[in-house]
Structure formats: structure tokens, C-alpha cells
Amino acid sequence: MKVRRSERLIDMTCYLLEKPHTLVSLTLFANRYDSAKSSISEDLTIIKKTFSDRGIGTLETVSGAAGGVMFIPKTNKEDAKAFIEEMCDRLSEQDRLLPGGYVYLSDLLGNPAILKTTGKIIATQYLDKEIDAVMTVATKGVPIAQAVASYLNVPFVIVRRDSKITEGSTVSINYVSGSSERVEKMELSKRSLKQGSRVLIVDDFMKGGGTVNGMRSLIDEFEAELVGITVFAETKFSGERMVEDYTSLLCVDDVDVRDKRIHVSPGNYFDKLNK
């Protein structure tokens, strides 16, 4: 039975949002709704315009026999700016200050709406790059990796500091923690990353950059390729940072433990985006 345009538009929207970065053929939609390809084509033109006008993302058309459409989630700059400014305010909340000048982030990184927006913003920066996997380190990087991977529609892999029997054989490396200068160990399940994979590193927080640098060594060890590094928040670091080329959404500029004041400003995201 033929399906009406209104129903097609709603269902196609759901279908495309569920499967970002996936080529969907016009034939699939034509069969799904028992409709002519010409009607499907008209539907997609309407969806494409709305997605673009409303800052949902872009709908790319691939022509030819193997053609179809692909939904690319994309945050526009205004939305990203508003979100990052809101996060600056949230991170500056006095009661987030922990002993040692650390900042409590677990509530934000356990909030699905914040994670979705964060994931979409990070994914937007890498749209012109090919990415095969997102890498992070357990535990707090995991929700960010999952959110980014979901928008890029690629798997994510979790590096661990402790060995687990449920990971099978692992490859491990030693790395120097940038802030404490201790030598630590991290490892990744051998079968979780293919040789030659293009990898995006994400994490919740960067201080000296030691952990991120460790992940970079792991990528080398797997003969994979580093595409980029993005952290949710960086903090001003007095020593020499072990990682130079990275993106941060937020920057904790200053923490005054005595007055219980945290000063947070936007990170270098927009500088990197314009490059």
C-alpha cells in the first residue's frame, strides 16, 4: 500500500537520524513506502532543506546506480557557541571544586543531553577526515567516546589501565604521566583495532597530556594512524605539555582553592574549526 508523503517524511527522518554516515539507496525508500523514486527524490529535497535550515545536519546526495543519500550530523557554530558558553558557566560553579584543585565533572558526563551535544560538536570538527575508530581511556572518557562515535557511526575502543581477563590478549605500553611524572601502564585489547585504522582520540580532561600521549604510543604500536585529539576540558598547565596539536571545548584557566573560585573559558575549538 502506498504511503502518504507526510508519513514518508516522518519515517525517513527517523531512519536517517538513526543511521548517520550510511549510504541509503533511493530504492530502499521506494520499496519501503511502495512509492515512485521520483516522489522519494522530492521528499529528500524537502528533508535536505529542513535539515540544513534547522541546523540538524547535511543530507548528501550520491548520484549514479549505486547512489543514494547520506545523513551527516553537523552542529552549526551558533549552537556550538551557545553550548560551550553554557558549559563554561556550569563548570565555574563553586561547589565543583575538589581538593587538589580538581573539578568535579561526573554529573555533566553522566547527562545524556550534554553528551549528545558534546558528541555532535566534536564530530563536526572531523567531518572532512576519514575516521575508522574513536579511542579513549577508561573510565570517564568512555561516555564522550560513545557520543562522538555514535554521530560518526564508527566503533569506539577503550584503553585500560588495569588488565581484565575479558579482553583477551592485549598490547600494553608504558607512559609518563605529564603532571605527576610517574611511569604508568596502559593497554588495549589486541583485536580491538585493525592495522592502518585512522583513529580519533577523545578524553574528558587534559592536564599535562601524558595520558593522551600514551594513547598516541598505543596507536603507533598498533600501526594505526592518529587523526586528531579532542578533550572536553583542558586545564592550564605550568610545565611543558606532551601534546601540542589538540582541540579542547573548554579551558579551566584558573582555580583558586582558597576563595573557591573556578574560572573557565571556551577552549580552542573554534580556532581549530576555522583552520
State in angstroms the smallest separation of the CB of 256 from a second copy: 18
State in angstroms the smallest separation of the CB of 135 from a second copy: 10
Is residue 54 near a second copy by the rule CB under 8 A?
yes
- Contact residue for a second copy among 75, 150, 197, 230 (CB under 8 A): 150
Residues 122-141 that bind a second copy (CB under 8 A): 138-140
Is residue 153 near a second copy by the rule CB under 8 A?
yes
Is residue 19 near a second copy by the rule CB under 8 A?
yes
Is residue 82 near a second copy by the rule CB under 8 A?
no
- Between 129 and 271, CB nearer to a second copy: 129
Is residue 56 near a second copy by the rule CB under 8 A?
yes
3-state secondary structure labels for all residues of the chain? CCCCHHHHHHHHHHHHHHCCCCCECHHHHHHHHCCCHHHHHHHHHHHHHHHHHCCCEEEEEECCCCCEEEEEECCCHHHHHHHHHHHHHHHCCHHHEECCCEECCCCHHHCHHHHHHHHHHHHHHCCCCCCCEEEEECCCCHHHHHHHHHHHCCCEEEEECCCCHHHCCEEEEEEECCCCCCEEEEEEEHHHCCCCCEEEEEEEEECCCHHHHHHHHHHHHCCCEEEEEEEEEEECCCCCCCCCCCEEEEEEEEEECCCCEEEEEECCHHHHHHC
State in angstroms the smallest separation of the CB of 160 from a second copy: 7
Burial 209-232 (b: 16+ CB within 10 A, else e): bbbbbbbbebbeebebebbbbbbb
State in angstroms the smallest separation of the CB of 120 from a second copy: 10
Is residue 47 near a second copy by the rule CB under 8 A?
yes
User: In the stretch 86-125, what mask flags binding to a second copy with x, by CB under 8 A?
Assistant: ------------xxx-xxxxxx--xxxx-xx---------
Interstrand relation of 68-73 and 57-62 (parallel, antiparallel or unpaired): antiparallel
- Between 87 and 147, CB nearer to a second copy: 147
State in angstroms the smallest separation of the CB of 182 from a second copy: 14
Is residue 2 near a second copy by the rule CB under 8 A?
no
Which residues contact a second copy by CB under 8 A? 5-7, 9-11, 13-14, 17-19, 46-47, 49-51, 53-54, 56, 98-100, 102-107, 110-113, 115-116, 138-140, 142-143, 146-147, 149-150, 153-158, 160, 162, 164-168, 189, 191-192, 205
